[in-house]
Amino acid sequence: MSAPPDTVAPVRRAGSERPGRPRRSRSARLRYAGIVAFFLLPSAIPLALFTLVPMAGSLWVSLHEWDLITPMTWAGLGNYAELLADPATRAAFLHTVAFIAGYLPLVYAGGLGLAVLLNRAMPARDLFRAVYFLPVITSWVVVALMWKWLLNPRSGVVNWLLGVFGIEGPGWWTDPAWAMPSVILASAWKDLGFVMVIMLAGLQAIPREYLDAARVDGAGALARFRYVTLPLLSPSTFFVIVISLINGFQVFDQVHVMTGGGPGGATQVVVEQVYDLTFRYGRAGDASALSWLLFAVVLVVTLAQVRAQRRWVTYG
């Protein structure tokens, strides 16, 4: 989600007519158009059918009342107005924000910490890096199932372990107060390795001379980290934050498997709400409107990030 590429316009090269742009006869032009179509249509047709048409369809449905069975009736912006007034919408967004608020700091601090630890030479470093990355390649469903079992209140290993230390473990995903932390824990565990790899790449791109210079000037390890490493890592941090926010707002798989939005709606996030509205309550119009509201929020948050980056992201 960096700045949109502005290199779309063909690069003009001084003094040379570009090959492949025949401006001769009509048949040559037609032939060229055919070549362009040949290269473009294999992606353009599926994207039109399975992305553009549904996008337009989704906007259209969002302006109607529709139970997916009987004919739809026009509602105008009524669905949007209804959703904005509905406390369930506010709750869904609040739960989503709560998820992000728990998940992002955890995964960022953990990932950065691991990256710093692994940035220096040590035995079997590549092995450790591979191990930390293992959950990233595992599907959300598997991760959610494994953690649901680990966090089983009655016979899960985690509560047993806590019991060994004399702590009575909470009810985790069965307890409304602990359900969201359970989802956050599983999510952070899965994505830790991803953040670590991004931050590690950022760390390794920092020129040694900068750190050496700071050392010569008498900066201690902490000062070097705070005033040299962190600012130079800001592009990686920016990337992690933008991606995590986008993914965080769209959180669904792990919630659907671990709690299904429960208990008592405690983890009812926005996409879970979209899913329920459509397939449980047959309110396709409201579901579509809600998904566009979410899209608008993600867009605004992402654009705000891109704007704000000027103030804190240093491109060395």
Partner 1 sequence: MARALRWILVVAGALVMVFPFAWAVVTSLTPEGALFGTPPDLTPDDADLGAYARLLEALPFWRILLNSAWIGLVSTLLQLVTSAMAAYAFARLPFPGRGAVFAVYLATLMVPMQVLVVPLFIEMRAVDLVDTYFAVLAPGIASAFGVFLLRQAVAQVPRELDEAAVLDGAGHVRVFVSIVLPLIRPALATFAIFGFMASWNAYLWPLVIIRSPEFMTLPLGLASLHGQFTTEWNVVMAGSVISVVPILVLYVLAQKHVIASVAQSGLK
Q: Which of residues 202-241 bind partner 1 (CB under 8 A)?
A: 202, 205, 235-236, 239-240
Site for partner 1 in 11-40 (CB under 8 A): 13, 18-21, 32-33, 35-36, 38-40
Q: Which helix (H) or strand (E) holds 64?
A: strand 64-65
Is residue 294 within the footprint of partner 1 (CB under 8 A)? Answer: yes
Site for partner 1 in 144-173 (CB under 8 A): 145-150, 152, 154-155, 157, 160, 163-164
Binding range to partner 1, per CB under 8 A, among 76-84, 89-97, 175-183, 192-200: 192-200
Please identify, using beta-carbon distances, which residue of 107 and 287 lies nearer to partner 1: 287
Under a CB-based contact definition with an 8 Å cutoff, are residues 136 and 196 in contact? no
Please identify, using beta-carbon distances, which residue of 44 and 77 lies nearer to partner 1: 44
Site for partner 1 in 86-145 (CB under 8 A): 114, 117-118, 120, 122, 126, 128-143, 145
- Give the residue carrying structure tokens 């992000």: 100
Please report how close the Cβ of residue 129 comes to partner 1 at its closest, in angstroms.
7
Binding range to partner 1, per CB under 8 A, among 76-84, 176-184, 200-208, 223-231: 200-208
- Give the residue carrying structure tokens 């570009």: 18
Please report how close the Cβ of residue 76 comes to partner 1 at its closest, in angstroms.
18
Q: How far is the CA of 217 from the CAs of 120, 214, 221, 223, in angstroms?
A: 22, 5, 12, 11
Is residue 274 within the footprint of partner 1 (CB under 8 A)? Answer: yes
**Total number of residues binding partner 1 (CB under 8 A)?**
106
At 86, is the secondary structure helix, strand, or coil?
coil
Please report how close the Cβ of residue 4 comes to partner 1 at its closest, in angstroms.
7
Q: What is the C-alpha separation between 265 and 96, in angstroms, rounded?
A: 12
Angle at 255 between CA 287 and CA 271, to 5 degrees: 20
Q: How far is the CA of 115 from the CAs of 119, 121, 214, 238, 249, in angstroms?
A: 6, 12, 21, 16, 25
| Among 193, 245, 248, 259, contact with partner 1 (rule: CB under 8 A) | 193
Query: With 0-12 CB in 10 A as exposed, 13-18 as middle and 19+ as buried, what is 71?
Result: exposed
